[in-house]
């Protein structure tokens, strides 16, 4: 069995006096939790503590009073801090098949597991933290309670004071401003970065124009994005390739509502051939941290049938070179964006989606994601496997205003080292609102068997480096564990599980390997039937 094993979990902890009444329920085992006591004031230092590796990160976080709680829809999405925060635990929404395996690494409180049934009222941090059982849990922890969030919401800011919480996230107003595609276009213009020809226009104006009119402005193929859809992953994105696809899209938008959201504006851009990729940034007081270019898996073969296009399905990390000119240009644009965000008060991780035109050695920034991105936690796990300080550790120290110092140039140099691995998201795919009876499967290591599309379970494993070769993969972050119950999903892009690979899963042109495609198809069939 291979599991994540942070050093501070190597021995059971004694239950301390005055500890929280929910500790046993949270840990899922008889042992207690080590809780840091104190007033919550930051430690006084004559100089900033150096941050060079995981050991330094453990020391820094160990010096902070209070309790740290990762908040997410799934437990695995918040797994990284378990490697460097001694008092860390996770509160999640979903009851997934990997919970027992992850609890061997970190205490996990699953709301659905506790109530014994699916909880579908709201799927963001606000609804999770507002649940009475979760509030009771958090109230019993040693204060202050530091909540590590995917992203911030106004409702959380309005109640954090009365609850004594500290939010490890940027202000919600800033996050919402940066997520607006109109802000993005303005930023690209101000920074004079290469831009894909396009414009943001009212929906009514788009609907009144013909394919001939818009193709005359943006080319025979163009991309339409619904500006009011702020949830990413390809939601609200359409590729128009001919008069029929334009007419079909206009008919779908006649009611001016998509995915339950009223649509007021659309973004139109020319379609440019190239490879989809992303870059993770971390805005710090010391400068901007920048990851290596990461190949994205978009519109994978196992995701056919979607009306929308540009569906994000995962990443592939490899040691293939993008070329000096592309790498240099990607870094230049990343630093420009990072410094611009720093000037607005943004701190911590954000992501940019880019398009790499390898033929012309050009880089175009397509989108800004002011939050954790789809590359995490896999990127952090790959970095730690190479002995590199994960970007998430710096991200949290920035948001918590903890004094520290880093060698920004040395860390950026380490982040440019090639990583090898990949991950894929397996989606529900079916029409929204259709009941599904899902089958639970073991979390762990699997191997494709023969040519029949099946896979065999080998052993429990929660580490991406467990697989040997492309024929092996790890299933985590799902599926939902409610055998015999019909579940209803309101989003066909809801996630069933994540597959992790120890090797790259795409070729030099970004095409998904046959083995990775087969693994995703098997997982879907095994879960959905």
Segment 93-103, tens digit of pLDDT: 999 999 999 99
pLDDT value at residue 15: 26
In degrees, rounded to 5, the angle at the alpha carbon of residue 389 between the alpha carbons of residues 404 and 516 is 150
Please tell me whether the peptide bond between 112 and the residue prior to it is cis, using omega within 30 degrees of 0: no
C-alpha span between 97 and 442 (Å, rounded):
7
Answer yes or no: are the C-beta atoms of 321 and 368 closer than 8 Å.
Answer: no
Is the confidence at residue 8, as pLDDT, over 80? no
Of 2-11, 74-83, 353-362, 404-413, the least confident: 2-11
Per residue in 439-461, pLDDT tens?
999 999 999 987 778 999 999 99
So what's the pLDDT on residue 242? 96
**pLDDT tens, residue by residue, 123-182:** 578 889 888 999 999 999 998 999 999 989 888 888 887 788 999 999 999 999 999 888
Q: Give the strand pairing for 165-168 and 145-148.
A: parallel
Element (H, E) at 214: helix 211-218
pLDDT at 6 over 60: no
Q: How do residues 346-398 score in pLDDT, each as one tens digit?
A: 999 999 999 999 888 999 999 999 999 999 999 999 999 999 999 999 999 99
Evaluate whether 203 touches 189 at the Cβ level (below 8 Å): no
In this prediction, residue 334 carries a pLDDT of: 98
pLDDT of residue 101: 95
The span from the CA of 41 to the CA of 43, in Å, is: 6
Strand ranges (E), 254-359: 257-258, 261-262, 265-270, 275-284, 287-290, 294-298, 312-317, 348-357
266: helix, coil or strand?
Answer: strand
In this model, does residue 37 exceed pLDDT 70? no
DSSP symbol at 375: T
Average pLDDT score over residue span 207-211: 96
pLDDT band (50, 70, 90) for residue 487: confident
pLDDT at 39: 34
Residues in contact with 380: Cβ distance below 8 Å, sequence separation at least 6, in sequence order = 80, 390, 391, 392
Is residue 31 over pLDDT 50? Answer: no
22, pLDDT greater than 50 = no
Q: What is the maximum alpha-carbon separation in the chain?
A: 74
Nearest C-alpha neighbor of 507 from the set 474, 476, 475, 470: 470
Quick one: pLDDT at residue 432? 67
Please give the Cα distance from 433 to 190 (Å, whole number).
43
Mean model confidence pLDDT for the chain = 87
Q: Any residues with CB less than 8 A from the CB of 260 and at least 6 apart, and which? A: 490
Confidence of residue 2 (pLDDT cuts 50, 70, 90): low
> How high is the pLDDT of residue 29?
32
Residue 186 pLDDT level (bands cut at 50, 70, 90): very high
**Percent of the chain at pLDDT exceeding 70:** 90
Residue 121 confidence (pLDDT): 58
- Which of the residue ranges 240-244, 319-323, 428-432 has the most confident prediction, judged by mean pLDDT? 240-244
Q: What is the pLDDT of residues 46-96, one digit of tens each?
A: 468 899 999 999 999 999 999 999 999 999 999 999 999 998 999 999 999
pLDDT at residue 12 tops 70: no
Domains along the chain?
7-169 (no CATH), 178-190+273-419 (3.30.470.20), 197-271 (3.30.1490.20), 421-528 (no CATH)
- Which pLDDT score is estimated for 130? 86
User: What digits encode the pLDDT tens for the residues 261-309?
Assistant: 999 999 999 999 999 999 999 999 999 999 999 999 999 998 877 889 9
- The pLDDT of residue 425 is above 50: yes
pLDDT of the residue at 221 = 96
pLDDT-above-90 percentage for the chain: 70
Mean pLDDT of 202-209: 97
């Amino acid at each position: 069995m291979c599991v994540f094993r942070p050093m501070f979990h190597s021995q059971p902890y004694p239950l301390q006096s005055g500890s929280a009444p929910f500790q046993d329920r949270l840990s899922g085992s008889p042992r207690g939790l080590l809780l840091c006591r104190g007033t919550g004031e930051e430690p006084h230092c004559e100089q900033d503590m150096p941050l060079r590796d995981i050991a330094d990160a453990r020391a820094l976080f160990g010096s902070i009073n209070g309790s740290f709680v990762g908040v997410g829809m799934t437990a695995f999405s918040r797994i990284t801090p378990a490697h460097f925060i001694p008092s860390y635990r996770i509160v999640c929404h979903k009851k997934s098949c990997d919970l027992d395996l992850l609890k061997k690494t970190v205490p996990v409180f699953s709301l659905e597991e506790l109530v014994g049934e699916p909880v579908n009222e709201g799927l963001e941090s606000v609804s999770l933290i507002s649940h009475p059982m979760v509030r009771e849990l958090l109230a019993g922890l040693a204060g202050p309670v530091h909540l590590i969030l995917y992203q911030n919401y106004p409702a959380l800011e309005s109640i954090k004071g009365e609850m004594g919480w500290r939010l490890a996230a940027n202000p919600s107003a800033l996050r919402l401003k940066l997520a607006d595609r109109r802000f993005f276009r303005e930023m690209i213009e101000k920074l004079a970065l290469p831009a894909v020809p396009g414009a943001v226009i009212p929906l009514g104006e788009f609907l009144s124009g013909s394919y001939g009119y818009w193709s005359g402005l943006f080319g025979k193929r163009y991309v339409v994005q619904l500006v009011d859809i702020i949830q990413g992953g390809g939601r609200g994105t359409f590729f128009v390739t001919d008069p029929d696809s334009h007419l079909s899209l206009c008919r779908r938008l006649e009611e001016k509502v998509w995915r339950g959201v009223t649509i007021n504006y659309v973004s139109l851009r020319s379609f440019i051939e190239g490879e989809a990729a992303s870059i993770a940034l971390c805005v710090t007081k010391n400068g901007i941290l920048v990851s290596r270019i990461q190949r994205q898996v978009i519109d994978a073969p196992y995701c056919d049938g979607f009306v929308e296009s540009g569906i994000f399905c995962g990443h592939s990390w490899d040691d293939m070179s993008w070329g000096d000119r592309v790498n240099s240009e990607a870094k230049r644009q990343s630093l420009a964006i990072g410094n611009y965000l720093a000037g607005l008060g943004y701190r911590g991780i954000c992501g940019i989606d880019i398009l790499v035109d390898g033929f012309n050695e050009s880089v175009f920034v397509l989108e800004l994601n002011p939050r954790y991105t789809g590359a995490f936690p896999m990127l952090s796990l790959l970095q730690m496997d190479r002995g590199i300080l994960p970007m998430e550790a710096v991200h949290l120290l920035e948001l918590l205003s903890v004094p520290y110092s880093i060698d920004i140039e040395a860390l950026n140099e380490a982040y440019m080292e090639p990583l090898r691995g990949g991950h894929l998201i397996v989606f529900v795919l079916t029409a929204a609102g259709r009941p599904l009876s899902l089958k639970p499967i073991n979390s762990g290591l699997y191997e494709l068997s023969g040519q029949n599309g099946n896979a065999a379970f080998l052993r429990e494993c929660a580490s991406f480096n467990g697989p040997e070769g492309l024929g092996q993969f790890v299933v985590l972050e799902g599926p939902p564990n409610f055998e015999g119950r019909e579940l209803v999903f309101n989003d066909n892009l809801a996630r069933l599980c994540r597959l992790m690979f120890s090797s790259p899963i795409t070729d030099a042109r970004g095409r998904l390997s046959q083995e990775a495609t087969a693994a995703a198809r098997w997982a879907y069939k095994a879960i959905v039937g």
